[in-house]
Amino acid sequence: MPGWAAAGLIAASFFTSALTAAFGLGGGVTLLALMGLVLPPAVLIPLHSVVQFASFAGRFGVQRKAVRWDKALPFVLGGFVGAAIGAFTVVTLPEAVLRLVLGAFILATLLLKLPALGRLKDWQYGVAGAVTAFLSMFVGASGPLNAVLFTRAFSDRMEVVATMAAVTASQHALKIAAFLFAGVALGPYLGLAVAMIVTGFGGTLMGTVLLDRLNEALFRKALTALLIVLAAELLRRGLMGLSG
């Protein structure tokens, strides 16, 4: 990878972490889209999972007392099944298809009004964990998928945020293990991952400071426009790959 690309991703980790800390959403998907422009698809989702795991694990450590384990535990256990199935599927897909899936997922997250799933029984959280873990093997950023499930499951905001941190961190950990078991080689990118984790932590601190100082409405409009452009570029590359 060129030095300028690595430096750009390290800087992007700072700003996207600040984005999530300040607005509660958008950072993971934005980072995934940027990484998708310069990284080989075969290592894109695994490397993104490493960086995001560190981010969500840190938030879980701070908020662990508010986690609803009665819902989180079956969700995490179901994730083992989904990640295992997904690992052996995603590595067999052509590069162009992965780019198309990623671009389409970003657009769907931005443009579609995802339905609220409401409250599920405990065993159904296990099924949901398996399904979302499987899907996250392809789309990388599992936060929006988990948000659909948990935002209306609990009435207490801290329970929502803390439980999402716990289950999303677990999904990223499962994906990392599954990809390594499937033979994905991340060794050449570990230095980049460590640097992105460090700057990401700095971004989290900065975003917390900026939380009450930014115009949220204007910033979200700019973010949406940027993500649409990035998703369109990924779709273009995927279509060109299929046609070529």
Ordered by start, the domain boundaries in the chain are 3-243
The greatest distance separating any two alpha carbons of the chain, rounded to the nearest whole angstrom, comes to 52
Q: Is pTM, for the whole model, over 0.85? A: no
pLDDT at 182: 75
Alpha helices in 24-156 (DSSP H): 27-38, 41-63, 69-90, 95-111, 122-139, 143-150
Closest of 132, 180, 142 to residue 53, by C-alpha: 142
Looking at residue 211, its pLDDT comes to: 61
How much is the pLDDT for 100? 84
What single-letter DSSP state applies at residue 215? -
* pLDDT (0 to 100) of residue 178: 80
Tokens of 55: 């981010």
Closest CA to 172 of 74, 53, 59, 86: 53
Residues 216, 59, 68, CA angle at the centre, nearest 5°? 105
Per run of 10 residues, the mean pLDDT along the chain (length 244 residues) is 91 88 72 88 86 84 86 92 77 71 77 63 87 76 69 73 85 84 84 94 80 69 77 84 77
pLDDT for residue 206? 85
Residue 118 burial (10 A CB sphere; 0-12, 13-18, 19+): exposed
